[in-house]
Amino acid sequence: MPKCEPVGLDFIERARIVIGQQVSVQASPTQVWKILNDTERWPEWFTSMKTARITSVTWDGIGSTRRVKVGSLTLDEKMIAWEPERKWGFYITNLNTTGWVAKRMLEVVDIEPAGSGSTLTYTGAIDPMPWVTPISAILKKQINASWSAALANIDGQIK
């Protein structure tokens, strides 16, 4: 699989495309944190995700890795933000060849308490390959719709 370049959280400030989605949920920050870290169950609420599995020895913080399949994309992810009940984020390390769309990709979820629930802000930062630039508005719209629907499904995962 083609490799993507590693990035830090500051990539959000310089990425060519930044996408954000904010959703209020009834789940508390503690519940949201538990749901975000139940990797194998992501496809239950993130409906465009086909599979998700941990690829590191442990799933316990910065440096942990996983592989997900979203549509025709297979993505390897490495955690770079891990602040329990506050911030969760990763950058893409590899993309399958049919999904080669970006040189650098980062996704971050900020979790804020809001009454008895939470406000979730999902931010993605992408430096696309040149061929993607003409369709970046479509890409942004599709990603926003997917994230919005997925985040709204988090409440259904409360146990």
In this predicted structure, the answer to whether residue 97 has a pLDDT above a threshold of 80 is no
Residue 117 structure tokens: 């629930």
| Residue 95: per-residue pLDDT | 87
* Assigned CATH for 9-157: 3.30.530.20
Amino acid (one-letter) located at 22: Q
pTM across the whole model: 0.91
Q: Enumerate the domain spans of the chain.
A: 9-157
102/119: higher pLDDT: 119
Contacts of 149 (CB under 8 A, 6+ apart): 47
Query: How much is the mean pLDDT over the chain?
Result: 91
Q: Nearest CA to 42 among 51, 54, 55, 30?
A: 51
pLDDT tens digits, one per residue of 15-34:
999 999 899 999 999 999 99
